[in-house]
Amino acid sequence: MKISFIIPSRNNLKYLKWCYDSIKKNQGNHEVEICVADDASTDGTWTWCQETMMKDSNFKAIRNDGPDRQGLVILNDKLINETASHDICMVFHADMYLCPESLDAIAKHIKPKTIVSLTRIEPPLHPEGVEKIVEDFGVEPEEFKEDELLRWLVGFKQGDKIPDTKGIFAPWAFYKKEFQAIGGHDVLFAPQSKEDSDIFNRFQLNDIDFIQTWEGFVYHMTSRGSRFNPYSGGAPGKNSEEWIGTTTKNMRNFIRKWGHAVSHDEFMKPIIPPKYDIGFIIKNATLQLIEVLEPWCSSVYCDIDVTEYIKKEDTLYDLEDKFYTLDDVVDNEIKVEINARNFHQQDFQYIQQLSEILKDSGALGAFDLGNLMITINDLITYEKELIICKKQ
């Protein structure tokens, strides 16, 4: 198998070296190309990349000169579209160690219309889940217990075989043409956060199958690019302010785009409720309530000036086109009438579940739901219109 590893990196040099060594050591008989993007690092990453390119003809690197980072959204796509030379690529993280025989497992399963994820082995820095293995072999490269990991893997593989599951997460291997067919990552989510959930939704809607193989593994120190990166104020187990800001912003963008929050089953396969054309008619509105409700609908009709809200909201969406007055004609297919004076937490829970509620209703007409008055004029769904990324 010929495969290109796709690895953006920002101030991650010690992890990047550790990651690179693991790939070279454990690539087996496969033809491997390692493609790195240095995202305006200040820790010597670019010097190391230049030196490595001189020594390794299968190592390629590009650089964002900065000073601002471009992030995973931009740099993953640049590496895939402009740098990688193989038809099969794998989105990989600098804080991952490629385990022996893992590329054999990918080669066994990869085929057109199929994306293959390796199983992550992680130290106990995040909640447990059935899609991964929690075992502590170190949280920094200098304390990595490689021999212990390799002995543990031998014993694990000799145990009962775990059937393939259907989730998707990094590292994920794919055919480049299928990535390009849906337009790659959406710049709405730049520099990063929720970009993976968005593209996974679009892959699934475009009839791509997901396989998580339990025959191939990475040891993942987790979240060292932004969330736990000390250069942005994080540490193992400590979220950086930078990450808190981007993940908060992009969850709002994800809801605007899809009409619901990120959702998946226990194995990380996306759950995609329908996307409807919904208008909120809000009487006695406040800016605080507008901030809560705006991402959850297609249009907002209200009785206050929202200029201040639009100015402070950080999004590529044109929010000015989203707002109307109460005197404007409501032409959305679904109307939700809200009186801010009697809007309660239970009503917001209904809003968050509205896609599923509308899907289950299956009928046109009007009904009350808590303090909400809902009128369904049509139940056309629009989620498949989101498959192809429209560049902002």
pLDDT classification of 392: cutoffs 50, 70, 90 = very low
Task: Note whether 221 and 282 are same-domain residues.
Answer: no
Task: Note whether 337 and 191 are same-domain residues.
Answer: no
Mean pLDDT on 203-214: 98
CATH number at residue 131: 3.90.550.10
pLDDT digits (tens, 9 = 90+) for 137-158: 999 999 999 999 999 999 999 9
- In this prediction, residue 137 carries a pLDDT of 97
Task: Note whether 112 and 158 are same-domain residues.
Answer: yes
- Split into its structural domains, the chain has a count of 2
Task: Assess if residue 119 is contained within a domain.
Answer: yes
Last residue of a domain, one of 227, 258, 289: 258
Task: Note whether 149 and 283 are same-domain residues.
Answer: no
Task: Assess if residue 268 is contained within a domain.
Answer: no
Task: Note whether 236 and 285 are same-domain residues.
Answer: no
Tell me, yes or no, if the pTM score tops 0.85: yes
pLDDT digits (tens, 9 = 90+) for 88-114: 999 999 999 999 999 999 999 999 999
pLDDT digits (tens, 9 = 90+) for 11-53: 999 999 999 999 999 999 999 999 999 999 999 999 999 999 9
Mean pLDDT on 171-199: 97
Last residue of a domain, one of 201, 225, 258: 258
Task: Note whether 230 and 283 are same-domain residues.
Answer: no
β-partners of residue 367 are 374
Mean pLDDT on 251-255: 98
Task: Assess if residue 272 is contained within a domain.
Answer: no
> CA dist 254 to 119, 260, 386, Å?
26, 8, 12
44/159 Cα distance (integer angstroms): 43
Cβ-based burial of 345 (10 A; exposed 0-12, middle 13-18, buried ≥19):
exposed
> Going by C-beta distance under 8 Å and a sequence separation of 6 or more, which residues neighbour residue 305?
none
Task: Assess if residue 85 is contained within a domain.
Answer: yes
Last residue of a domain, one of 258, 288, 322: 258
Task: Note whether 297 and 240 are same-domain residues.
Answer: no
Task: Note whether 76 and 222 are same-domain residues.
Answer: yes
Task: Note whether 181 and 302 are same-domain residues.
Answer: no
Mean pLDDT on 58-85: 97
- In this prediction, residue 233 carries a pLDDT of 74
> Which regions of 138-288 does DSSP assign to beta strands (E)?
172-175, 209-220, 278-283
Q: Which range has highest mean pLDDT (220-234, 238-252, 350-364)? A: 350-364
Cβ-based burial of 130 (10 A; exposed 0-12, middle 13-18, buried ≥19):
exposed
379/376 Cα distance (integer angstroms): 7
**H or E stretch including 156?**
helix 146-158
Task: Assess if residue 330 is contained within a domain.
Answer: yes
Task: Assess if residue 391 is contained within a domain.
Answer: no
> Going by C-beta distance under 8 Å and a sequence separation of 6 or more, which residues neighbour residue 347?
338, 369, 370, 371, 372
286/301 Cα distance (integer angstroms): 12
Task: Note whether 172 and 292 are same-domain residues.
Answer: no
- In this prediction, residue 83 carries a pLDDT of 98
Task: Note whether 26 and 129 are same-domain residues.
Answer: yes
Residue showing tokens 């990869």: 110
Q: Give the residue numbers spanning the domain of 361.
A: 278-386
pLDDT digits (tens, 9 = 90+) for 260-303: 999 999 999 999 999 999 999 999 999 999 999 999 999 999 99
pLDDT classification of 391: cutoffs 50, 70, 90 = low
Mean pLDDT on 225-246: 77
Task: Assess if residue 204 is contained within a domain.
Answer: yes
Task: Note whether 93 and 34 are same-domain residues.
Answer: yes
Task: Assess if residue 265 is contained within a domain.
Answer: no
> Going by C-beta distance under 8 Å and a sequence separation of 6 or more, which residues neighbour residue 244?
none
